[in-house]
Structure 1
Amino acid sequence: MSTLIIYFLGAFVRYWLITSEYQNVIAERIEISTPLNSWKRVTEGLHLLKLGIYPYAGDSLHESPLNLLAFNCLVKIFGEYLHIVFVVCDLLTSHLLYMSAKKYMEQIRKTQERNKANYAADAKDLLLTDKDFALSPIYVCVVYLFNLYTIFNCVGMTTTVFGNLFTALFLMALNYGSLFAALPLAIVISQSFYPILLLSPLFLHFVVTRKSYIKAGAAVVLCVMFWSIITYLCYRIYDRWDFVENTYGFILTVPDLRPNIGLFWYFFIEMFEHFRSLFIYSFQINVTILYLIPLSIRFRQDPMLLATSLLSLTAIFKSYPCLGDIGFVLSLYPCWKHLFNYIQQGFLVSCCFLVTTILGPTVWYLWIYSGSANANFYFGVTLAFATAQIFLITDILFSYTKREFSLIYGRIRKLNSKKAQLMLE
């Protein structure tokens, strides 16, 4: 009953805001709507489609043809009640995350029972209890439903709502060890490309938990095959390949430099044009390849944590991030609430999130409407926001490592006959 109340309250908040006069204001915010997820741009594409005009003739639409076809069906079926679809999808995402966290906590319980004999005697109080296993999935659900970032993402009617839904479906299928995880991952890749990094946790999950390289390879092959089929279907809709330039090409080359909460726009505005290729390669390597291999090696035994880490880094460094991406990642962190005691930057990160969330719209108003600030002020806020996210994920990962070390070698360590403490510098 209490869980139903949580879902009801989450739905009520979203429905109230999405039908209120604030919806348009929220949907226009650059922190929420980007060129990639704006429903306004989807509406423009659908209008061009209705007029018989090729929707990719201009530079406003960046959804794939298959997604545009799906959105067209939704508009025709639900009409003026389309906002209910976004609310229902968000509720379904929260439930999928709850199921995913529940299964993940079961896996942690089995791992803990299997390795308990190898743990140090003075580390027994670090073991998770039945209460921890039961509460973490509920916290995941609650954080997603009542996180301002995810609420505004839903109210703004961004297509990130659907991306989060399929990402949550992928995580649930991943934790259940189903090859079906390949399909939602292929759909998410076709929408925003960067989730291609999740092929690593998909492969490692079957290697670690199923002890099968055949299933691991089959999962990756299935995902690539589904992605290829989706891309081919997109081609067959118009018998033209130039949609690739408006989707993947737009994501990778970053031609639209309107301000957002990311880091790309400011650097590309300030730099000389002949350095553009260097910056493009540097930034895209940073968000795709740079962290993938070391994180995959270090956290290969925990694909769920690896997937969350990659999603977090993508939300920080991708070319067109939004609050919906960040809110989704934040809702996964309660899976590791047992690590919060190890976190060293918790107060700093909390303050940064609070201050930058308030300052962002304020500085934007001073810059655009009042004229008493400039781009440097707004980028300073987005840079602090990104730094807070970096501190948070590094703190979580280091806390995970520190807890592993304490479980095996004990909590009390001595250096030169004095108590020593493992700290993040």
Structure 2
Amino acid sequence: MTMSRKNLLLTYSLAVGVRYLFLHSDFQKDIVNRIEIQTPLNSFKRVVEGRYRMSLGIDPYESDSLHVPPLHLTFYTFLIDNFPNYLPYIFMLIDLLTGHCLYTFARRYMLKLYIKQEKNKHTYAEDALSQLLEGRDLYLPPQYALVVFLFNPYTIFNSAAMTTTTVNNLLLSLFFVGIIYDNLVISLAAMTLSTLQSFYPVIMIAPLYLTVYKRKESHLQACLTLFIYALSVIGIIYISGIIYNGYQFLDQTYGFILKVPDQQPNVGVFWYFFMEMFEHFRLLFLFSYQMNVTVLYFLPLTFKFREDPPLLAACFVTLIAIFKSYPSIGDFALSLALLPCWKHLYSCMQQVFISSVTIVITTALAPILWDLWIFWGTANANFFFGATLAFVTAHIFLVTDISFAYTKREYLLKYGNCRQINGKDAKLVLE
């Protein structure tokens, strides 16, 4: 059972209506200039400036304003030159496509979980019925995922500001569709383009590898897929260097992401530490932070979720949003929209209420503290950073809670709800 075409059309129409209202409201200019939404990496104003410099025959990467890779700059230039009056509506359409991709992914994912459950049902404990998927779990999570994405304020503001994060979210959602349908062309293309835009999706090689291996049962085929991915990224960068007469863009794109030279405040944690620390410690913390988002959790999470590549990919998407050098609320919109897909884990989660309330409160509090700091002068950077730190900590709790719930549910399915040791009821005693 899925949403009817009438309900889908109504949902999409309401989503377009909400975005249209924000786009033509007095708040649109304020939304574009909010540091929670716009960053040096996803600002469309910088893309327009780069396109203008390029039209004058000036290298757009000579200045320190443009940080979009050449392939994506070419795409945005095409849109600006051919559809200048329809750009806001194009970003609306991209949002709708992303929502539909998430709906398609969630529907297929829940079906696969249900089929796997019915296949292994004979191995589950007798008193584990409360942990099993029901019929309604096949159609409710996809609907929730669609609604959460399309009507999330993070997504709406991101679309109204026309940030490049809107396009990146579409690419990542296409990657999820590709791995759940075992479509290597879609997953490889989406992952390649997403990596070229923001670098950090390179860690998606783990769920891609696991997906290919589970399908082909061949490590050689999986490694070949990763080789094609690496060859595609290198090839596009090489061609971009030829077209743009050099590789200066590498320092202004991926170098900018890795070296973090701009300390403009955002919803992440990079800016505060690099603003406050002594300069001779910068390289140490720079390596530590970048390893945190790319290397540190890569192997542990890959090993733990090796049987569930989509869940692994969702964890990586959330970790990227949390720890990337220039995050925006648009990065968190995708990870929050994926939460309904783990509805079967909710009964084992312990911190979802606290995390949700913290995210809501800090989202409302951060703009207030920013205004008190910048415009009123009655606060300082510590106030705003405190809100952003609580914001990312809440998302960290969500990731750890999902990981714990996944492990706990596996245990309950195998051993049941029994809490006895040597025939006696077990008790947890603190001494």
**Please, what TM-score do these two structures have when normalized by structure 2?**
0.96
Q: Which residue pairs with 2:14 in the alignment?
A: 9
- Aligned counterparts of 2:86 and 2:13: Cα–Cα separation in 1: 18
Which deviates further from its counterpart, 102-111 or 355-364?
Answer: 102-111
Write out aligned runs for 1:230-269 (5 A): 230-269=236-275
Letter in 1 for 2:81: K
Is this contact kept in 2: 1:253–1:280, CA < 8 A?
yes
**SS in structure 2 opposite 1:71?**
helix
**SS in structure 1 opposite 2:84?**
helix
- Aligned counterparts of 1:209 and 1:69: Cα–Cα separation in 2: 35
CA-CA distance at 1:419 after TM superposition: 4.1
Number of aligned residue pairs? 421
Q: 1:110 aligns with which of 108, 115, 131?
A: 115
Residue 151 in structure 1 maps to residue 159 in structure 2 = no
Q: Which residue pairs with 1:220 in the alignment?
A: 226
Write out aligned runs for 1:30-179 (5 A): 30-179=35-184
Alpha-carbon spacing, 1:419–1:8, altered in 2? closer, same or farther (3 Å)? farther
Is this contact kept in 2: 1:66–1:233, CA < 8 A?
no
**SS in structure 2 opposite 1:353?**
helix
Alpha-carbon spacing, 1:420–1:19, altered in 2? closer, same or farther (3 Å)? farther
- Aligned counterparts of 2:215 and 2:117: Cα–Cα separation in 1: 14
- Aligned counterparts of 1:185 and 1:18: Cα–Cα separation in 2: 30
Q: Which residue pairs with 1:309 in the alignment?
A: 315
Letter in 1 for 2:357: C
Alpha-carbon spacing, 1:406–1:209, altered in 2? closer, same or farther (3 Å)? farther
The Cα offsets for residues 261-287 of structure 1, whole Å up to 9 and x where unpaired, read as 111111011111111110110100111
**SS in structure 1 opposite 2:74?**
helix
CA-CA distance at 1:194 after TM superposition: 0.2
Q: 2:395 aligns with which of 380, 386, 389?
A: 389
Unpaired runs of at least 5, structure 2: 1-5
**SS in structure 2 opposite 1:122?**
coil
Write out aligned runs for 1:324-335 (5 A): 324-335=330-341
CA-CA distance at 1:234 after TM superposition: 1.5
**Please, what TM-score do these two structures have when normalized by structure 1?**
0.97
Residue 190 in structure 1 maps to residue 196 in structure 2 = yes
- Aligned counterparts of 2:193 and 2:96: Cα–Cα separation in 1: 20
Unpaired runs of at least 5, structure 1: none
Residue 283 in structure 1 maps to residue 289 in structure 2 = yes
CA-CA distance at 1:222 after TM superposition: 1.8
CA-CA distance at 1:221 after TM superposition: 1.6
The Cα offsets for residues 215-270 of structure 1, whole Å up to 9 and x where unpaired, read as 32232122112212221222122121110000000000000001111111110111
Q: Which residue pairs with 2:212 in the alignment?
A: 206
The Cα offsets for residues 281-304 of structure 1, whole Å up to 9 and x where unpaired, read as 010011110000000001100000
**SS in structure 2 opposite 1:16?**
helix
Residue 418 in structure 1 maps to residue 425 in structure 2 = yes
The Cα offsets for residues 306-358 of structure 1, whole Å up to 9 and x where unpaired, read as 00001111110110011111011100110011211222112211221111011
- Aligned counterparts of 2:426 and 2:214: Cα–Cα separation in 1: 36
**SS in structure 2 opposite 1:412?**
coil
Write out aligned runs for 1:334-413 (5 A): 334-413=340-419
- Aligned counterparts of 1:140 and 1:411: Cα–Cα separation in 2: 30
Is this contact kept in 2: 1:367–1:374, CA < 8 A?
yes
Residue 300 in structure 1 maps to residue 310 in structure 2 = no
Which of structure 1's runs of 4+ aligned residues deviate more than 6 A? none
RMSD over aligned CA atoms reads 1.2
Is this contact kept in 2: 1:412–1:420, CA < 8 A?
no
Between the aligned residues of both structures, percent identity stands at 48
Is this contact kept in 2: 1:201–1:306, CA < 8 A?
yes
- Aligned counterparts of 2:393 and 2:215: Cα–Cα separation in 1: 34
Residue 323 in structure 1 maps to residue 325 in structure 2 = no
Is this contact kept in 2: 1:287–1:318, CA < 8 A?
yes
- Aligned counterparts of 1:125 and 1:45: Cα–Cα separation in 2: 56
- Aligned counterparts of 1:103 and 1:233: Cα–Cα separation in 2: 37
CA-CA distance at 1:372 after TM superposition: 0.1
- Aligned counterparts of 2:28 and 2:227: Cα–Cα separation in 1: 42
**SS in structure 2 opposite 1:59?**
coil
Is this contact kept in 2: 1:412–1:419, CA < 8 A?
no
**SS in structure 2 opposite 1:79?**
coil
Letter in 2 for 1:185: M
